[in-house]
Amino acid sequence: MNPAIINTIFILILAILFLYIFVDPNAKLFGRKVWYDPQRLLSCERDGEQTSQQIFDIYSFSHVTHGILLYFILNYFNFSAAQIVYIATSLEILWEFLENTPYIIKKYRKNEAYKNYQGDTIVNILGDTICAVIGVYMAMERPKIAIAYAVGSELLLYPYAANFLYLSIGSLLGRPLS
């Protein structure tokens, strides 16, 4: 496995463990709640109280797709493997920053499927970033499987309005898909 991937995932997991051990889940960091209380690894709700509040949720699958797409785009420009990992991670974190601005949160809430969206907790941002790095790794090591994953997850998650196309294109760039 590429050392850049190992290092990136290790740092992200270490950050989550640090927050779990040393920080009150109700504390805020950069204006964002650190973690939902009670702390869990996963929330399967589409638009519930814990959605985007735990480390992973139903939208985590779409972040794997982000990583896959970022890999193919960056690879097209002939970046090295390590550069791809670090640039993709930086772009995912930038996306998380933008996604959690009041403007984007309001855009999501206009869609009935996301009317309760309150933005991500810090640990969910870290979990989403881990998923994107996993997507980069998948595309780097097994491109055909990565493409199959991206197509399959889009199809499987569409009925739950939790896929990348529905979220990004439907909710943010235009009117919600129906």
Q: Running along the chain, 178 residues long, what does each successive block of 10 average in pLDDT?
A: 93 95 91 86 76 86 94 98 98 94 87 81 95 98 97 83 62 55
pLDDT value of residue 97: 94
> What's the gap between Cα 147 and its chain centre?
18
Q: Are strands 56-57 and 42-43 parallel, antiparallel or unpaired?
A: parallel
pTM: 0.89
pLDDT value of residue 171: 59
pLDDT value of residue 78: 98
pLDDT value of residue 63: 94
What's phi and psi for 56, nearest 5 deg?
A: -125, 150
pLDDT value of residue 161: 66
| Residues 6+ away with beta carbon under 8 Å from 108 | 114, 117, 167, 171, 172
pLDDT value of residue 50: 79
Cα–Cα distance measured from residue 70 to residue 11, given in angstroms and rounded to the nearest whole number? 20
